[in-house]
Structure formats: C-alpha cells, structure tokens
Amino acid sequence: MHRQGRPPKRNRFPPDITARIIDVLGEGLLDLANLDCLKALAKCLLVSRTFCHHSRRHLFRSVRLKDSPQKTFFDRVALLREIIAPRSNPHSGIISYIKVFRVDISRQPGPTLYTKKDEGLAIILEAFLLFGSRLEEFNFVGLGVDWHKLGRTVQERLCSIIRTPSLSVIHLAGLDGVPTSILTGITCKKLSLCRLKTDNILHEAASNLEWANIPQLRLEYFNTDNTFPLKYVSSNGPWTDLPNNPTSPFACLKKLALKINSQQHHQESLKVLLGVKSSLQEMEIVLTSNGITAAIDIGQFPRLQKLRLQQQNIDISYIFFPAVIRILNPATPCISLKQLDLRFTSHYSYSPTACTPLHRMTVWPRIDAFLSTPQFPSLNRVRLLLDFGISSGHRRPLASTDLLLNEVPRLRESFPMLSYSDSVEFTVEICGG
C-alpha cells in the first residue's frame, strides 16, 4: 500500500531578504514619472506568491498626511490612526513598518491644522511616539504654517518626533515662528531646512534638556536656503562659526546643497563651506538671481567629485551668469571633480526671432574654455540642461519640437573642446513648452 507523505515544504526567503526586495520594488512604485515601471511593479507585487503575505504591509513603508478643508478631514485622520495603531491592539497595525512619515500642507493652513483639540495631526503624532515606531525619515513641508497656532500639544509632539533616535533624515520647510532651539537633541545624519522663519525663543521641551550631555550632530548631508540661522543648526546649543571648529555639525559633511537668494545668504553659506573643505564630496548650488556674485573656490575641496550648478530666473535674452563663471574659474585646480551638471532655468519665453540664438551666446565658449583646462584634470562627465518656456512664433504644433531638435546640435558646436573630447562625456538637453 502506497503511503502518501506530506507535501514538501516550500523554501521561504528569510524575512530580511524579503523586506529588502520589497523595499527596492517600492522605490520604483514611488517614481511617478516612470509609468511603465509603475504598472509593471504594481502587477509584480500583486501576483507574486512569494511576497503576497508581506507586500500589503510593506507598501506602507511611506505614509503621507495632507491637510484638507473638507469637513471629513478629522474622520479620515481618525481612520488612518486606527490603521497605523488600532486602539484595541496598537501593535497589530502598520506602525512598525512605516519608515517615512510626511506631513504636507500644500494650501493656506485652516481649522483642520490649527485646532486646539486632541485630533487631526496630534493623534497621528501620538501614535508614532507611543507604540514603538521605527521611523527613519520625517518630513514637515508647509506653506506659511504659523508655529504658534499649532497648539502646545502638536508643538511638543513634533519636537519629540524629530528627536526620535531612529531618525536619520529630517526635512522641515514652510514654518513661521519656529523656535531656534527646535533642533536641540536631534541625532539625524541628513538635515534639510528651507523656507523657515525663526523665533528666538527657547522652546520649553528644549529648555529641559541638558545640552552638555547631548553629543553634537555629525551631519553627512545638509540642505539649506539660509533662512534658519546656521549657529542654531546644532543638537546641543549654539555653536561658534569658526574654521575647523570641533563643535561644528559639519565636520564630517559629505553632501551639501545651498540655495543662495542674496549676497547675505551667500555670506552665510561661506560659513558652512569653511568647515567642510576636507570632507565634502558632493555639492549643489542654486542661484536664484543673476546678480549674485558667488565667491566660492571649488579648488579648496580636495575630495569634491560631483558639482551641480543651477541658475534660476535668468533673462534668456541676455545670458552672462557671472556667479557661474566665477565658480568654474577657481583660483586653484579642482583635481578631484569628476562630474559637473549645469542647469539654467527661466520664466521668460525664448523666441528665435526676438532673442539671440542660443548657440551664438558668448557665455558658452567661456565655459568650454574653463572646463577644458588643467584646472579639472579628473573631469569625465559634463551635462548642460536649459529649462525655459519656448515661444516659437509659429502656429504649427511641432514648431517648438523643431526648434529644440535644431538648437541642440548647434549648441554643442559652441563647446568645441568638450564636444570633441575623448575623455569627457558631454551632453546637452533643452526642455520647455
């Protein structure tokens, strides 16, 4: 008599490998610009038997809360709170799976945000603080949000969230009246501060901390538009902006993103640059005005490998870029630079009948000459991107497309040394509409 045995057990992936694979797939799902990838990955996660049991919760690695003027806002937030951490059994929710939490206020704040009741944003923050969350990234992106109107409960919980030891990334933007002590006690590695208006008042939650017992930040990435005072970018009280200051949070900085809106902001940026000469590997500089004179000598950074320069709000009919020219003409050679991205954006419309043709503008040969000198011996990739409105002066629907196709090869001719170099990969892109 044949005895039927038990069916063989299926091999299972270890949980850490399963989590890693789904994380990689999830990154593709977040890329809204790649629709083909989005559809393919969505089907993959739905039909894959191996990950079917795990994928539902793993897809909640990132949670985004948006403010809304609708009357049902509080009901929907309460429902989200039950999904994250059910009151009957908080640990049965998705709280332990969430790695990224983003608060997005994309409109003028209203009663749904400025409420004194323990609801809305307050109960979501409470869940992350009480039930063993493992947040790695926290984003608060607002639009003129008044810190004082948020109420004491939300203020205290926001400060507690950003001091969570597991956080490695913090992004704060669009807050008015935020206390300069808000960063006291944080331990993140990546910090982004934009569009902030500060209030030099010590927050109560920060006043109870012993600064002497808190180690200073050791940032690896810092993004700023200089609206938050640099001396308060600290986890243990204000620091002195001196070169090679051991109390500086920028001593180990590898990546720096600067948005320079004025000469005053430029001076503030130099304070950061003084302390990162020996460690900086990647830098992004955004210039919002064509009149800014940026005295940044990139030759002083012996480990700098990637540089992105972006000039915004240019008048396309008169391109000169004095700040860009000065940065690309350092006093000392930048021997480590390998990749350079140049991006120019404009709100002005470009018309070939009213403006100087792009390929005839005198600024391009100057840039070509700078980049082809021994100042950049390791340079192997240069990318030029022009992003502006296009007024073709024609009624044909493909006139703009024809213009782009004709301008790209002509513009390359303005960079003779880069275009025909055997050692530098040179690309030109023009986009507009």
Q: What is the pLDDT of residues 167-188, one digit of tens each?
A: 999 999 999 999 988 998 899 9
Q: What angle do CA 187, 191, 196 make, to 5 degrees?
A: 120
Amino acid identity, position 299:
G
416 occurs within a structural domain? yes
User: CB count, 10 Å around CB of 305?
Assistant: 15
282 sits in which H/E element:
strand 282-287
Q: Which of 5, 28, 50 is the last residue of a domain?
A: 50
Which stretch of 80-94, 167-181, 262-276, 287-301 has the lowest confidence by average pLDDT?
262-276
pLDDT over 60 at 2, yes or no: no
How far from 88 is each of 93, 192, 382, CA to CA, in Å? Answer: 10, 37, 57
Sign for the CA dihedral angle at 319, 323, 324, 326 comes to positive
371 occurs within a structural domain? yes
Question: Euclidean distance between the first and final Cα of the chain, in Å?
Answer: 78
400 occurs within a structural domain? yes
Mean per-residue pLDDT for 190-199? 91
Q: What is the band of 232 on the pLDDT scale with cuts at 50, 70, 90?
A: confident
pLDDT over 90 at 137, yes or no: yes
424 occurs within a structural domain? yes
Q: How far apart are CA 163 and CA 183, in angstroms?
A: 8
Which stretch of 97-101, 157-161, 196-200 has the lowest confidence by average pLDDT?
196-200
Q: 335 lies in which domain range?
A: 294-433
- Residue 310's DSSP bridge partners are 286, 343
- Residue 323's DSSP bridge partners are none
Evaluate if pTM is beyond 0.75: yes
**Count of domains in the chain?**
2
Q: What are phi and psi of 71, to 5 degrees?
A: -70, -20
Q: What is the band of 1 on the pLDDT scale with cuts at 50, 70, 90?
A: very low
286 occurs within a structural domain? no
* Residues recorded for the chain: 433
229 occurs within a structural domain? no
Q: How far apart are CA 267 and CA 271, in angstroms?
A: 7
